[in-house]
Structure 1
Amino acid sequence: MSVRSALVASGKIYQTRGISQRVKQISISAIKEMPILASQVGDCVSLGQGIPSFPTPNHIVEAVCRVMRNDPDCGKYSLGPGMPQLRRAVAERLSGQIGRAVDGDTQICITVGAMEALLASILTVVERGDEVILPSPNYASHIEQVLLAEGVPIFVPLQPGDWQLDLEAVRTAITPRSKALILCNPHNPTGANFSASALRELAELAIAHDLFIISDETYDFLVYDDQPHFSLTALPELQDRMIATFSFSKKYAMTGWRVGFVYASEVLLDHIMKIHDAAAICAPTLSQHAALAALQGPQGCVDEIRSALRARRDLTCRRLDRMQQMFSYVKPRGAYYLMARYQAPGVDSMEFALRLLREARVTTIPGAAFGPDGESHIRLSFGGSEEEIHEAFDRIERWLSSDPFP
């Protein structure tokens, strides 16, 4: 059963007469719809949607309050690509990360979160019938955005033993109709941190086959166990075919502020700006002030978030280890998700997640939402508090003790 089927069964009516084909073929992702079902069930604890429990740091909130009191223009539109001082601050920070100059005036556009940046980027380079290579499992919204652009998602399995890139599988998937490859690293939904050597080889493939790379860098700061993080944005040879999207949401606990940015060559960004202008005009000005305060303020909050999430990852793994008869998993090396494989023959991931929701009152995301290689898994987020994680796993343990799949 799909999430939509479950909503229909609960009384939701979908009318499609007169609706465009490109909209009819996409769905709101299970990441967003499972919480809707949970709200109908009531008294649920979430291991589902990736919303970190942390409040926005106080220095960001205070900076925005000062702006609201003192700047009469803070409630007006900014320039389309964003406030110049924010674009330059972003460029300065990004230049330090990737080791080469970034021009904030011509290579950065501030967007309504990374999601708008991703959609604008995909709509810029993908047209009807273009094939877009997606690692599988893959972030669900990437799939829907490709479909909205009338592209064709081509799923390439990750290595199941460690969720690393399978370069031979990518090479085999490339055809004359291949147009782009979308990559999230660290990876949502698996928590993988892809190796620098594999990413460099991926770059070589993109150049050899004239592919665009759209890189989702939302979790670039969130790597554990003293591992290095390698970003494809560091490779100058990709400049003309690379579009990278970034978010303030997770790094600074600003999910509700809806602010991110896209980095691309001036030539590509000029075209991305057309979509941005048509869809959003500009990112919210107050949110841009918040982003500027985040960049210019103390960065200890980022370290605190990373440290807390590392502890929550370890807690989640310990709790899963107590249920080895049902779950196996690959320990996440980044982001704050893991894919747990369950042992329930003949039960698809939607049925498993729905039963877990209704019978244990724990929200998870069915693995099938992340592409074909997510089946037989559920995605767990450890962004919630330790108390919430404990409560969720206590409920799952009680549920499993009732032998739900005899």
Structure 2
Amino acid sequence: MSSASVTPPAVRKISRRVQNIRISATKLMPMLAAKVGGCVSLGQGVPSFATPPHIAEAVCRALREEPSVGKYSLQPGMPALREAIAEGLARDKGFHVDPDTEIGVTVGAMEALLMAILTIVDRGEEVIIPSPGYASHAEQVLMAEGRPVYVPLRPADWGLDVDAIRAAVTDRTRAVILCNPGNPTGTVYDEADVRALCALALERDFVIISDETYDFMVFGADGEPAPMPFSPASLPEMRDHVICINSFSKKYALTGWRVGYVAADKGWMAELLKVHDAAAICAPTVSQHAALAALRGPQDCVAEMQRSLEARRALTCKALDAMSGHFSYVAPRGAFYVMAKYLFTGAPSPDVARRILEEARVITIPGGSFGPEGEGHLRLSFGGDEAELAECFKRLEAWAKDAR
């Protein structure tokens, strides 16, 4: 048979929604680092802590004694876990939900976020994202064929600019995503600003998707943990206008277990769970046992992690202060990130991050990946242990002396 008569293979047709999105820089930079070799990381937001022993032991015990661990749970999650989540929301945030109809256990907070966005956003509709903001929020809006609308945070303190959000709201605005404490900025929004945003949501009839993954990690002025940030879900009048999302990943060192939750009024939850059913059926049952042990077990492990992260924050700020000719920053009030503005070049942040990776062998995340206002910055995570952080900053300081 001649080559002329051979039918060429069908051209791969990639959907528009997939063509519109990309792998986040937080995942890409470690992949590039694996090729460079010998790198240390200020990159991906994974705390260095091991899963607490009492959680691991509870899971091992369940694996030995409960055959149901290897099977699907109920679609919205194990009843005992949903009850424990509801108790915590009422105790910590004054958000009272019915565990039977208003909580869904999810495959990490990422699935919960995607459930919310796919439920709320139709093609061409808008979601406001304070910028810099978590990169995957925008990618999920694009996956839903919506339009991310970036609204700058106040550059002096990365605070919420409610007036700017008001100016950005249109008839196509369906939601504002509020990540508090903030990733990548480490900001904690003032209660007055959050309340003002809630009032705007009621006035203009949009939803606040409240990503509260880092709510346990707030730094007080005296170096001790401070109270949790104010949650929009704590206001009864916001019942129909807030979807609350959280994760067990960071608070209990369960990143690899992939378990989180969404809490919302039952009218929302009935729709959210349709997406959950189509995407995942249920969160991994074994991971739900880990989450239940985390909530019901001793909390001293959380306090210990908080103290360690406070020490790592101090180390990070001290190191950046020593490089004040090369970087400026706003001291983080929460989470374990800082956005460092580089002063030694006007090059785009992906180029700067790539140079640091290849020349200093330190992983950083380009700030431009977190929205327009992140350009000119690098996100640095101080989730790693102190020895690795010290090595990171030793290399970065040596490199910065010759940076152009």
- Taking the aligned partners of 2:403 and 2:93, their CA distance within structure 1 comes to 50
Which residue identity lines up with residue 280 of structure 1 in the other structure? A
Q: What pairs with 1:144-163 in structure 2 (closer than 5 Å)?
A: 144-163=139-158
Aligned to 1:177: 172
Q: Which of 209, 218, 226 is residue 214 of structure 1 equivalent to?
A: 209
Alpha-carbon distance, 1:97 to partner: 1.2
- Taking the aligned partners of 2:253 and 2:172, their CA distance within structure 1 comes to 39
Of 15-24 and 367-376, more deviation after overlay is shown by 15-24
- Taking the aligned partners of 1:377 and 1:73, their CA distance within structure 2 comes to 48
Q: Which structure 1 segments of 5+ residues have no match?
A: 1-14
What are the superposed Cα offsets for residues 1-50 of structure 1, whole Å, 9 maximum, x if unpaired? xxxxxxxxxxxxxx994000110010010011110000010000000000
Alpha-carbon distance, 1:239 to partner: 0.6
Which residue identity lines up with residue 46 of structure 2 in the other structure? I
Of 192-201 and 336-345, more deviation after overlay is shown by 336-345
Aligned to 1:300: 300
Aligned to 1:83: 78
**Secondary structure class of the residue paired with 1:268:** helix
What are the superposed Cα offsets for residues 111-151 of structure 1, whole Å, 9 maximum, x if unpaired? 00000000011000001011110000000000100000011
**Secondary structure class of the residue paired with 2:70:** coil
Check if 1:193 corresponds to 2:181: no
On the 8 A contact 1:16/1:24 being kept in 2, the answer is no
Which residue identity lines up with residue 276 of structure 1 in the other structure? H
- Taking the aligned partners of 2:32 and 2:11, their CA distance within structure 1 comes to 22
Alpha-carbon distance, 1:100 to partner: 4.4
Call closer, same or farther: CA 1:213–1:400 in 2, change over 3 Å: same
Aligned to 1:167: 162
What are the superposed Cα offsets for residues 58-117 of structure 1, whole Å, 9 maximum, x if unpaired? 000000000000011110000100011111111111111122422111110000000000
On the 8 A contact 2:103/2:261 being kept in 1, the answer is yes
Aligned to 1:123: 118
On the 8 A contact 2:151/2:164 being kept in 1, the answer is yes
Check if 1:48 corresponds to 2:43: yes
Aligned to 2:6: none
Aligned to 2:311: 311
Aligned to 1:377: 377
- Taking the aligned partners of 1:111 and 1:92, their CA distance within structure 2 comes to 18
Call closer, same or farther: CA 1:179–1:16 in 2, change over 3 Å: farther
- Taking the aligned partners of 1:214 and 1:61, their CA distance within structure 2 comes to 31
**Secondary structure class of the residue paired with 2:68:** coil
On the 8 A contact 1:82/1:283 being kept in 2, the answer is yes
State TM-score, norm by structure 1.
0.95
- Taking the aligned partners of 1:24 and 1:158, their CA distance within structure 2 comes to 28
Aligned to 1:398: 398
CA RMSD of aligned residues (A): 1.1
Q: What pairs with 1:2-401 in structure 2 (closer than 5 Å)?
A: 17-225=12-220, 227-228=226-227, 229-401=229-401
Alpha-carbon distance, 1:243 to partner: 0.5
* Greater than 3 Å deviation, 4+ residue runs: none
On the 8 A contact 2:95/2:233 being kept in 1, the answer is no
- How many residues in Structure 1 have an aligned counterpart in Structure 2? 390
Which residue identity lines up with residue 224 of structure 1 in the other structure? F
Of 243-252 and 228-237, more deviation after overlay is shown by 228-237
Q: Which structure 2 segments of 5+ residues have no match?
A: 1-9
Which residue identity lines up with residue 23 of structure 2 in the other structure? I
- Taking the aligned partners of 2:97 and 2:166, their CA distance within structure 1 comes to 31
**Secondary structure class of the residue paired with 1:73:** helix
Call closer, same or farther: CA 1:172–1:16 in 2, change over 3 Å: farther
**Secondary structure class of the residue paired with 2:99:** coil
